[in-house]
Amino acid sequence: MRFERREHRPFYLLIATPVIAIIAALALAGILISIAGAPVLDAYWRILTGAFGSRLSATETLTRATPLMLTGLAAAVAFRARLWNIGAEGQFYLGAIAVAAASSKLLGNLPAPILIPLLLLVGAIAGMVLILLPLWLRLRFSVDEVVTSLLMNFIAVLFVSMLIDGVLKDPLAFGWPQSQSVSDHAMLPKLIARSRLHIGFAIAIALAIVVHFIQSRTVFGMQSRAAGLNPAGAVFAGVPLGRTLVKVACLSGGLAGLAGAIEVMGVKGYVTTDLSPGFGYAGIVVAMLANLNPLGVVFAAIFTATMFVGADGMSRGLGIPTYIADVTVALSLLTMLIALFFTQYRIRR
Amino acid sequence: MTQLFDIIASAGLWAAVLRIATPLIFGTLGALLCERAGVLNLGIEGIMTFGAMIGWLSVYHGADLWTGLLIAAVAGGIFGLLHASLTVTLGLSQHVSGLGVTLFASSFSYYVFRLIVPLANTPPTIVPFQPIAIPGLSTLPFIGPAFFTQTAPTYLAILIALLMAYIIFRTPVGLAIRMTGENPHAADAQGVNPMKVRYGAVIIGSALMGMGGAFLTLSAFNSFFPTMVQGRGWICIALVVFASWRPGRALFGALLFAFFDAFQLRLQTALSGLVPYQLFLMTPYILSVAALAIMARRARVPQALMQPYRRGER
């Protein structure tokens, strides 16, 4: 069996690829569900209705999709330049804790129209800071940033744990390690009344459009893409590789930090060490499912959120562990990889 | 100061060093073997988690400890086969494939575990490997209790490190692995099949990773809980660079690393209340980043690492 590169890629294939990948992942996860002794179609139906069956669940799913869109964008912009930022989880937490700190210690008294944008900016900057060390190590010592940015996740979560156990601890939390709450007027306005869906959802979609515009229409977008496709060629063509990667890293880390900030200001109001059920890692899958396309990220994030939110109800109803959602999402990364391969190659005997 | 000295002079510290080092030795050797053949295996964190889970589950269901370890190795090998199919046959990005394997293997571990062991307040336990006192040596003062009363997998890990050093540098198989990692085209021209070598290295390397995970549940602890691997896999990837892709140095690096870890654990109790405990918990990760930064310049990376090989295509 040999593989032959396709001369051109038909457009319909690019659209069909994620769909095929998701169906394949659902089929594989279906095997696991049926081994567990539950009816597969019923299980998926429960996931779907659990995620979109009512106004409450639908808004909940979109609320859950919001941080995933941002961490997905963070991964997508970095991966496109072949900057392997796997540290979105840590950047998320740093963004979150920076917001809690700035709101409770420094800026809390400002009026909402100034405070909210300022806090979002603080969160984004905190996320950027965390990616700078791995980036510096790569540029200066050519250390692969995958492992360093990943290790920063553990450091960041422990750092957050230290702060919410110490200087930022909420004295009213009955000794529970939890940060002080952000002030009420720092909370993001609701998008739909009597739901948890907040304006962050709209911000995330707007950012996906902005990132799409940056990538397709600006010099920086072109340079970051060239850096990813062929770094040596890009340098030869006059792309300032180091500077481009710094900008890409700031964009990526900023988006992940913003995800943390928005989660605190939109949903929880305070930080604990279980603020993120792996949003940073799921963002990698979201980015891959979207084939690193910023607009695709919006849909991939909604798919992922659907699995996570829907799995809760399904789990209660059928006794299947909720981890089936994580399994399906991870499987869809692998099936997407294979599906993408076959958009580029065909089998020749 | 005397407190620090007391810590270092205690046999308990050195016994803990070997115990903490064991999963790192397995994992680092596994990752090293893959990388020597030119394949970065970021699936390690997930493979270790799965090894820990399946090893524990087998013993919990009546298998003996060695069978549990073997099952963990086989399971690791299967994930290695998956990673090799994606990266060697299809030539996909080793970064992304490895992350995919990690995400899948760890969530799959939690799923299987929760399916079979329902939520309980106290996690069910097994009887783990017991320390074996090596006759004669274990009665030596200080050294005996520290180094010669470990559990069997610890001795096995050290043996495998020495064996791997011998195989890689002294045998034709080792030469084939090194050539494949440096220049698969040249290896191919010499009649070595780079695809087969890479498959073999990734499968056996991943089997070692599985055993490293199983050590956690079958020897160090007696139960499984999610997130118990705690980044040890990523630390192993850093240790491979620290070891400059040499098994002997990998053994040394893992022991050095474990020394710092065991030391900080004891310092943590000595200084409890004075310094936030999270600072101590951070040290393994900070050390790994530091190790990468220090060694990355001097290290000689296998030249074909992360490059897919297709015959007749460059």
Residue range B229-258, pLDDT digits in tens: 999 999 999 999 999 999 999 999 999 999
pLDDT tier at B164 (50, 70, 90 boundaries)?
very high
pLDDT one-digit tens code per residue, B15-38: 899 999 999 999 999 999 999 999
Residue to substitute from B95, B104, B303, interface A, most A β-carbons within 10 A: B104
CA nearest to A167 within chain B: B276
Mean pLDDT within B143-158:
86
Helices (H), A186-266: 200-217, 219-229, 231-236, 241-263
Contact across the interface for A154 and B230, Cβ inside 8 Å: yes
The rounded distance, in Å, linking the Cα atoms of A226 and B233 is 32
Smallest Cβ distance to A150: which of B97, B100, B234?
B234
Q: Rounded to a whole number, what is the distance in Å from the CA of A103 to chain B's nearest CA? A: 24
Q: A101 to chain B nearest CA, in Å?
A: 18
Are residues B92 and A285, on separate chains, in Cβ contact within 8 Å?
A: no
Residues in A closer than 8 angstroms to B261, CB to CB, are none
Hey, are the CB atoms on A159 and B278 less than 8 Å from each other? yes
| Contact assignment for A338 to B90 by CB distance below 8 Å | yes
- CB contact (8 A) between residue B282 and residue A152: no
Whether the ipTM is more than 0.90: the answer is yes
Mean confidence (pLDDT) of chain A: 92
Give the residue with greater pLDDT, B69 vs B298. Answer: B69
| Exposure string for A61-93, b = 16+ CB within 10 A, e = fewer | bbbbbbbbbbbbbbbbbbbbbbbbbbbbbbbbb
- Compute the distance between CA of residue B250 and CA of residue B202 in angstroms, rounded to an integer: 17
Of A150, A166, A321, the CB nearest to B111: A321
Between A111 and A202, whose confidence is greater? A202
Q: How many CB pairs under 8 A join A and B?
A: 116
* pLDDT of residue B3 exceeding 60: yes
User: Which one of B108, B286, B297 has the shortest CB-CB distance to A155?
Assistant: B286
Mean pLDDT of B86-95: 94
Q: How confident is the model at residue A238 (pLDDT cuts 50, 70, 90)?
A: confident
Give the per-residue pLDDT at B301.
Answer: 87
Gap from B122 CA to chain A (nearest CA, Å) = 18
Chain A nearest-CA distance from B131, in A, is 31
What is the pLDDT at residue B204?
A: 98
Q: Alpha carbon of B125 to those of B56, B59, B218, B220: distances in Å? A: 9, 10, 10, 12
In the predicted structure, residue A1 carries a pLDDT above the cut 70: no
Are B282 and A155 inside 8 Å of each other by CB? yes
Contact A36 B115 (CB under 8 A): yes
All residues of chain A having their beta carbon less than 8 Å from the beta carbon of residue B90 are 3, 337-338, 341
The CA R_g of chain A, rounded to the nearest whole Å, is 21
Among B282, B300, B309, the residue to mutate for chain A (most A Cβ within 10 A): B282
Q: Give the β-pairing of B149-151 and A345-348.
A: unpaired
Q: Which residues contact A347 (CB under 8 A, 6 or more apart)?
A: A1, A2, A3, A4
Unique residue bearing structure tokens 């030596």: B140
CA-nearest residue to B237 within chain A is A147
Residue of B104, B234, B286 with shortest CB distance to A330: B104
pLDDT of A188 > 80? The answer is yes
Residue A286 has pLDDT above 90, yes or no: yes
Nearest alpha carbon to residue B94 among B39, B48, B34 = B39
Amino acid identity at A221: G
Got the DSSP string for A43-95?
A: HHHHHHHHHHSSHHHHHHHHHHHHHHHHHHHHHHHHHHTT-----HHHHHHHH
Q: Which of A110-114, A123-127, A169-173, B206-210 has the lowest mean pLDDT?
A: A169-173
pLDDT tops 90 at residue A74 = yes
Residue A343 has pLDDT above 90, yes or no: no
Average pLDDT (A323-329) is 95
In this structure, the strands spanning B149-151 and B131-133 are antiparallel
Over range A282-308, report the average pLDDT: 96
Cβ within 8 Å, pair A151-B238? yes
- Contact flag B111-A161 (C-beta cutoff 8 Å): no
- Inter-residue contact B52 to B257 (CB < 8 Å): no
- CA of B155 vs chain A CAs: smallest distance (Å): 29
Q: What does the longest C-alpha to C-alpha distance in chain A come to? A: 70
Which residues 239-268 on chain B approach chain A with CB closer than 8 angstroms? 241
CA–CA separation, A16 vs A102, rounded Å? Answer: 45
Residues A109-124, buried b or exposed e (16+ Cβ, 10 A)? ebeeeebbebbbbbbb
| Displacement of CA A85 from its chain's centroid (Å) | 11
* Average pLDDT of the segment spanning A150-179: 90
Among chain A, residues having any CB pair with chain B shorter than 8 Å are 3, 32, 36, 79, 84, 86, 133, 137, 141-143, 146-148, 150-152, 154-155, 158-159, 161-162, 165-166, 281, 284-285, 288, 320-321, 323-324, 326-327, 329-331, 333-334, 337-338, 341
Q: Say whether B108 and A327 touch across the interface (CB within 8 A).
A: yes
Cβ atoms within 10 Å of A26's Cβ, excluding its own: 18
Segment B297-311 mean pLDDT? 84
Q: What is the mean pLDDT of chain B?
A: 91
- Is the model's pLDDT at B143 over the cut of 80? no
Residue B145: which of B159, B134, B156 has the closest Cα?
Answer: B134
Highest-pLDDT range among A176-180, B145-149, B284-288: B284-288
The answer to whether A3 contacts B90, with C-beta atoms less than 8 Å apart, is: yes
Rounded to the nearest angstrom, the minimum Cα separation between A80 and chain B is 12
B183: left (phi over 0), alpha (psi -120 to 50) or beta: beta
What does the CA dihedral B189, B84, A76, A257 come to, rounded to 10 degrees? -120
Q: Which residues of A touch B288 (CB under 8 A)?
A: 147, 151
pLDDT at B1 over 70: no
Residues in chain A: 349
Chain A contact probe: residue of B285, B287, B300 with most A CBs at under 10 A = B285
Contact B86 A288 (CB under 8 A): no
The HSE-up count of residue A317 (CA atoms within 13 Å, CB side) is 16
Is the pLDDT confidence value at B145 over 90?
A: no
Comparing B19 with A175, the larger pLDDT belongs to B19
Which residues in chain A have Cβ-Cβ distances shorter than 8 Å to B83? Answer: none
List the single best residue of A97, A149, A155, A341 to mutate versus B (max B Cβ within 10 A).
A155
Find, in chain B, the residue whose alpha carbon is nearest to that of A155.
B282
The reported pLDDT for the residue numbered A283 is 96
Query: Are B288 and A327 within 8 A, CB to CB?
Result: no
**Dihedral angle at the C-alpha atoms of A200, A203, A205, A208, nearest 10 degrees?**
-130
Residues in chain B: 314
Residue A8 has pLDDT above 80, yes or no: no
Judge whether B41 is closer than 8 Å to chain A, CB to CB.
no
pLDDT category at B314 given cuts 50, 70, 90 is: low
Identity of the residue numbered A164: I
Taking an 8 Å cut-off on Cβ atoms, the answer to whether B114 and A338 are in contact is no
- Average pLDDT estimate for B164-182: 96
Q: What confidence category does residue B312 fall into, taking pLDDT thresholds of 50, 70 and 90? A: low
